[in-house]
Chain A
């Protein structure tokens, strides 16, 4: 636990330093989450959201990952995955998404990035089962009003 506290106190300092060096971006203000921070418990009967994620609901957070190939051409909605999505049609299926994906709703439409490019997304954290009305895609964690930048 000491290590965790140490990390969280250092991060804003590092982010502030980066913001000073790099062109201004909104990432500096948001608390950074990692994919490992989203769920605190895993079982066959389902996963549980971590207290850290739940504490951020309604607030802005930053999350790094890879944009899955978009479900529709105009990318105001995409799936953020921990690893680049390169699944094969016959060893996996379209029902076979990783469990810990995050759905991102962008503030403005944007061109999709390469699925192999790591990106950082900042958005307002939302949890709970939600079915996208256009695609029917079901998600448990979302980042709303989001923007992103390649890393």
Chain B
């Protein structure tokens, strides 16, 4: 886990270093779409050591130094290796058009083409709110509608808030390195408009050895603060350093860089920061801290004028104070707990942190504080535990947190009302392969798998009607949805919700050994061993390449229809804000 993660993070770099000498690599990569005026680092990596007099980098035939107004830095031996690079930090191109960048070492040459674009119209949206359902598949949304609204004779008794949004598009989520993305690279595309690699946030995955030294691209949060004086808000129920929230501001090749990410958060200027993960803020000597230094980052935020909240009540009162324009709220040492655990099962860390706010309350507080900025705001709200439940095949927890996302969206839709100045998007960052294929009925005879009704035998589940929060008060019912995950390790299928705590489908056998079905479920009545279809080093289910479904409303949202690349989410937000003109 710790080790394999490190290996996963650095393996691609090791592979790149060992490549045979070939053409140079240019960042941003070929077919990059770049917002006019947005900052980016131009980097060219040569396969060997190149003397400065042989090295040539041009943009549309002109020397790069002339185009950008200053010469790139020359690194003769990058990271001590026999390979030269040039790097120009914080470059920008202000004129829209097609740019061909060519690099030569005197023998080999390579080129890439970029499109630089600007918003076609003046600013149309004062605010942009991006809701991300992490790992949210269509099956999560369908089940959320069944459980939250009910269904009778084939007709739903109501629709989700997200079902009411007028615009819809299928989103391709693949990265520059692989058709399968992770939450870092996926959120990177939404926040920068560039495609990068698994584990990367705000950077292209170059050969640099230092995870913080890779070529950066600017995030929407940075651009709108610099160009428009807008406020930026980041809201999640995961650790605030996790990939999706970090993508709003962070620049690192390695998403697990929680401590540098925390430090970058302080520098980001974001006005509202709400989530879990106080462990990375507390000085090393404090039990519960993950820091490796004595810095108290909560104090550092306070010194920069942030009000601080550590529970639901203090969040509401601090946000209501009209003087609060910068707000840090941390509600758990680690990830916050799922809606199913907080409201009904009391599992996870709920007994330790009984006063965690709901994502709806976080959203409301963020809107309250951000709307004090007369120049408008960009807010990202993540329901991040959908994916953290889907990974261990815990369907019920993922569905409750999909309802949580929808409830939070409803808060924003109500806030936006008839303003017609706020673009609202709700989208997964990537998907998981899930299908709802039947209803388990405990009254049927036989083994558990024989109690799965399909087609006509499925009928309808008997979840109780949703309570005022929008959730069925019990998930442990006698006729319940059966969902299957496309990719899984060996595990015991119990055909029941995991009331005792989040599912742990597989455990490792021996140090570095294969993952095998977790024996703690073996003796549950009707448990059935399923042999996995993933490599044996996989401990949980995995992301899929299936398209995600985006919904949107508000000025600029008409850009979303048909199929789009995930980078178009950034572009449409930038265009709605009139950026690059």
Which residues of A come within 8 Å of B, CB atoms?
A: 39, 42-49, 68-71, 73, 75, 83-99, 112, 114-116, 128-129, 131, 136, 138, 140-141
Is B241 part of the contact surface with A, judged by Cβ < 8 Å?
Answer: yes
Given the contacts A43-B310, A94-B5, A116-B509, A86 and B287 also touching, CB distance less than 8 Å: no
Is B109 in contact with chain A by the CB < 8 A criterion?
Answer: no
User: Given A44-B353, A48-B287, A86-B508, is A95 in contact with B280 using a C-beta cutoff of 8 Å?
Assistant: yes
Q: Check if B410 is an interface residue, CB within 8 A of chain A.
A: no
Expressed in whole angstroms, the minimum distance between the Cβ of B327 and any Cβ of chain A is 14
Q: Which of B278, B279, B282, B516 has the most CB of A within 10 A?
A: B279
**Are the C-beta atoms of A44 and B278 separated by less than 8 Å?**
yes
**For B3, what are the chain A residues with a Cβ–Cβ distance below 8 Å?**
69, 71, 94
Scan B267-291; emit 1 where CB is below 8 A from any A CB, else 0.
Answer: 0000000000011101011111111
Q: Given A83-B504, A86-B506, A115-B508, A93 and B288 touching (CB < 8 A)?
A: no
A135 (CB) vs chain B CBs: closest residue: B2
- Of all chain A residues, which has the CB nearest B255? A93
In the assembly, what is the distance between CA of A94 and CA of B512, in Å?
A: 16
* B278 & A45 in contact (Cβ 8 Å cutoff): yes
B258 on interface, CB distance cutoff 8 Å: yes
Compute how far the CA of A108 lies from the CA of B508 in the bound complex, rounded to whole angstroms. Answer: 24
22 contacts between A and B (CB under 8 A): A44-B278, A44-B310, A44-B330, A44-B331, A45-B282, A46-B287, A47-B287, A69-B511, A73-B511, A83-B504, A86-B508, A86-B539, A88-B538, A90-B543, A93-B5, A93-B256, A93-B258, A94-B256, A95-B259, A95-B290, A129-B285, A138-B289
Interface size on B, residues (CB 8 A): 64
Q: Which of B330, B388, B508 has the most CB of A within 10 A?
A: B508
User: Within 8 Å CB of B539, what residues of A?
Assistant: 86-88
Check B417 for interface membership: any CB of A closer than 8 A: no
Name the distance in Å between A130's Cβ and chain B's nearest Cβ: 10
- CB-defined interface of B457-487 with A at 8 Å, one 1/0 digit per residue? 0000000000000000000000000000000
Within 8 Å by CB of B285, from A71, A85, A112, A128, lies: A128
- Of B255, B288, B311, B391, which is within 8 A of A99 by CB? B288
A68-B1, A69-B511, A95-B258 known; A46-B516 Cβ under 8 A = no
The reply to whether A94 and B1 form a contact with Cβ atoms under 8 Å apart is yes
Given known contacts A45-B286, A46-B286, is B540 in contact with A88 (CB within 8 Å)? yes
Question: A91 contacts B512, CB within 8 Å?
Answer: no
Alpha-carbon distance A141/B8, docked complex (angstroms): 29
Q: Which residues of B contact A (CB under 8 A)?
A: 1-6, 8, 182-183, 239, 241-242, 255-259, 278-280, 282, 284-292, 298, 310-311, 330-334, 349, 352-353, 387-388, 391-392, 504-513, 515-516, 518-519, 538-540, 542-543
A3 CA to B182 CA in the complex, in Å?
Answer: 48
In the complex, how many angstroms separate the beta carbon of B277 from the nearest chain A beta carbon?
9
User: In the bound complex, what is the Cα–Cα distance between A33 and B538 (angstroms)?
Assistant: 33
Are A116 and B256 CB-contacts (below 8 A) given A90-B183, A91-B388?
Answer: no
Q: Is the CB of A89 within 8 A of B4?
A: yes
Contact of A46 with B289 in the complex, beta carbons under 8 Å: yes
In the complex, how many angstroms separate the beta carbon of B534 from the nearest chain A beta carbon?
Answer: 11
What is the CB-to-nearest-CB distance from B347 to chain A, in angstroms, rounded to a whole number?
12
Residue of A nearest to B329 (CB): A44
Listed from nearest, the 8 A-B pairs whose CB atoms lie closest are A116-B507, A93-B256, A42-B352, A95-B258, A46-B286, A88-B540, A44-B310, A91-B391
CA distance A73 to B392 in the complex (A): 28
Q: Once the chains bind, are B353 and A42 in contact (CB under 8 Å)?
A: yes
Bound: A31/B131 CA distance, A: 50
Residues of B within 8 A of A42 (CB): 288, 333, 349, 352-353
Chain A residues lying within 8 Å of B504, measured Cβ to Cβ, are 83-84, 86
